[in-house]
Amino acid sequence: MLLKRIKAKIISLIGLEMNAICDYLKFKKFYTKASGASKDQKKLEAWILQDKHRIEKAFTLPKPKFGFGKEVIPRLIDHLATYKKEFCADQVYYIGLGSLKAYINYHSEKKQELPMFFVENIKKISAEDFDHHECDLAGYNQILPAYEENTSKFSDMIRGRRSCRNFNIIKSKEITNELLNNIIDLSILAPSVCNRQHWRVHYFSGELKNQVLDFQNGNAGFQDNIPYIAVVTSDLRAFYSHDERNQPYTDGGIFAMNLMYAMQNFGLASCPLNWCNSARTEARFRKLKLIPDHEVIVLVLAFGFPNQNALYAKSPRLPVDNFYTIH
């Protein structure tokens, strides 16, 4: 009995530290370091999908460059060749190839030569593999599935959302404080643990927006084209147990999705931006005093009215049976 009470006391004293160490060990064990990628199909898949995304995304920037991807493309090709040899040629393989096919088509449409690193490396892939119909799942689109603002079925709205990286700066000047308020009014219908509603949204535009985005690693090539950002945070003071350490991000993620649909409802487009910073970078950011210290940043949303000519990454999803198990 005494032993049990001592154990409970120790856990209550160092529970947070224990959780942090366990989280650290678990993350360290499972996350996909580049060096370990080829040993495991799932890890290789993760690398293929993210490098494929980097190529698709580059087409969608306001001023796409030609001959991009010197670091990403040789790695993607090597991973694809290994994937087919060691595992199989499934949809992951073909949508990876699809991004390379889109790269070739893009350069040919614009009458630009393919860079040497591409020409040399692509020889590692059999030419006939590019004829597979699943290759066309990747690439870019100019037109998204249509939906009517305010009246559409929710499923149409879900299908009509895509991350936008090409905004109409002039039209976005029409965004009023009232609209920013109405977006939040809809978003806060998101569920949260015990209805604690611990989210906050910090809107920034202009120079302050750029100051925040300088600490964000995924906006190269479109930072200046972003009219507004919404920094989604969670107030840590809403949590009382060390077992709740991930709850800010769980609820924050649900809220952020609601926020994106609320923006879409008003004809705006958005692009979620990760906030994956080291503790040191975070400390430098915090010195700017733009966000209260008791709030953690869940993610940042770039948003505004979309440019009518914007291209959108196709961002294909894997077959639906990958995502569920019926027990």
Q: Which stretches of the chain bind ligand FMN, using CB under 6 A?
A: 53, 57, 162-163, 165, 218, 271-274, 299, 313, 315
Report which residue type is found at 70.
K
CB of 166 to ligand FMN, least distance (A): 11
CB of 323 to ligand FMN, least distance (A): 14
CA–CA separation, 232 and 286 (whole Å): 15
Nearer to ligand FMN, 122 or 231 (CB): 231
CA–CA separation, 170 and 183 (whole Å): 20
Nearer to ligand FMN, 121 or 315 (CB): 315
CB of 206 to ligand FMN, least distance (A): 20
Backbone angles phi, psi at 297, to 5 degrees: -90, 125
Nearer to ligand FMN, 37 or 299 (CB): 299
CB of 203 to ligand FMN, least distance (A): 18
Nearer to ligand FMN, 162 or 209 (CB): 162
CB of 216 to ligand FMN, least distance (A): 6
Nearer to ligand FMN, 84 or 165 (CB): 165
Per-position b or e across 89-101, b if 16+ CB within 10 A of its CB = bebbbbbbbbbbb
CA–CA separation, 101 and 260 (whole Å): 31
Rg from Cα positions in the chain: 22
- Cβ atoms 300, 229 nearer than 8 A: yes
Nearer to ligand FMN, 104 or 276 (CB): 276
CB of 284 to ligand FMN, least distance (A): 18
Nearer to ligand FMN, 38 or 215 (CB): 215
CA-CA-CA-CA torsion sign (149, 152, 153, 158) = negative
Q: Which of 106, 103, 164 is nearest to 312 (CA)?
A: 164
Nearer to ligand FMN, 144 or 169 (CB): 144
Is residue 101 within a helix (H) or strand (E), and if so which, with residue range? helix 91-109
CB of 144 to ligand FMN, least distance (A): 9
- Cβ atoms 313, 53 nearer than 8 A: yes
Q: Tell me how long the chain is.
A: 327
- Cβ atoms 218, 235 nearer than 8 A: no
CA–CA separation, 226 and 168 (whole Å): 9
**Strands of the sheet with 295-304, listed across from one edge:** 199-205, 228-235, 295-304, 269-273
CB of 8 to ligand FMN, least distance (A): 37
CB of 114 to ligand FMN, least distance (A): 24
Give the nearest residue (CB) to ligand FMN. 218
Token pair for 244: 């709740």
Nearer to ligand FMN, 44 or 271 (CB): 271
- Cβ atoms 281, 319 nearer than 8 A: no
End-to-end CA gap in the chain: 39
